[in-house]
Amino acid sequence: MQSATSEMIHSNARDRLVQLDDNALMLFARNGDGDAYMELVRRYKQLMVNYVYRLVWDYDCATELAQEVFVRLFRNIDRYDHRLKFSTWIYKIATNLALDELRRRKRRQTQPFSREIESLPDDHAARHDPRAAHRPDPEQALLRSEAGQAILAALQELPADHRQLFVLKEMEQLPLEEISRITGVKVGTLKSRLFRSREFLRERLTGYFHRGQS
């Protein structure tokens, strides 16, 4: 009887946490509520893996960096400013980690991404893109196709800060005001960079598809 009562209390506590917004969970977590912190991990873990993956294009690396996001989140929990959206704070941590990783790669002068893409087996996208298993077959086929490789390679050619903005706006679909708080860049500058990124990708992909039709 006591065990059943304890389980019911624990279940009610979980249900209560699920109904709280992110900021409220952070306040509980900051006051030592481990269950509140784990609810935030549950909500954001896959989102962080997906986001970092789109910046570093390496699923294993993205998984490791996403874990580090939550380590840093916990380590700096007392510094959380409840006046900001929680998503702004966690995306900023993830962005900094991803950009640091890209800087390390640049110093190591790693193999160009386009050649890495060419060497991937056909099922690489389904195994290493965390969203691929849920894509309809035509989209998976595109990602594995030559055209899909061209799209990924073109995105990789963008400077890291421009690619970061493009991913936050076009893939994560965050508003520019929140992206500005994440990146520390003014909205007007973000709009300019986003325009240049779109033009760059349009030029790259238009050239590719024109060659394919000739």
Q: Where are the domains of the chain?
A: 1-110
Query: How do residues 12-60 score in pLDDT, each as one tens digit?
Result: 666 788 889 999 999 999 999 999 999 999 999 999 999 998 899 899 9
pLDDT at 75: 94
Predicted confidence band of residue 145 (pLDDT cuts 50, 70, 90): low
Whether the per-residue pLDDT at 11 is higher than 60: the answer is no
Q: How far apart are CA 142 and CA 127, in angstroms?
A: 15
Q: Estimate the crossing angle of helix 86-108 against helix 34-56, to 10 degrees.
A: 40
209 vs 78, more confident: 78
pLDDT at 133: 43
pLDDT at 89: 94
pLDDT at 195: 95
pLDDT at 123: 42
Calculate the dihedral angle through the C-alpha atoms of 57, 195, 97, 151, rounding to the nearest 10 degrees. Answer: 0
Q: How far apart are CA 134 and CA 99, in angstroms?
A: 27
Q: Which residue has the tokens 């966690």?
A: 90
Query: How do residues 151-187 score in pLDDT, each as one tens digit?
Result: 778 888 888 889 999 989 988 999 999 999 999 999 9
Whether the per-residue pLDDT at 115 is higher than 60: the answer is no
Whether the per-residue pLDDT at 137 is higher than 80: the answer is no
Predicted confidence band of residue 144 (pLDDT cuts 50, 70, 90): low
Predicted confidence band of residue 117 (pLDDT cuts 50, 70, 90): very low
Structure tokens at 10: 């624990």
- Indicate whether this model's pTM tops 0.75: no
Q: What is the mean pLDDT of residues 144-153?
A: 69
pLDDT at 12: 63
pLDDT at 2: 52
Whether the per-residue pLDDT at 134 is higher than 60: the answer is no
Please tell me the CATH code under which domain 1-110 is placed: 1.10.1740.10
From the number of C-beta atoms within 10 Å of its C-beta (0-12, 13-18, 19+), residue 185 rates as middle
Contacts of residue 163, Cβ cutoff 8 Å, sequence gap at least 6: 55, 155, 156, 197
Rg over CA atoms, the chain: 20
CA distances, 116 to each of 33, 56, 144, 206 (Å) = 44, 13, 13, 22
Query: How do residues 79-102 score in pLDDT, each as one tens digit?
Result: 998 888 999 999 999 999 999 999
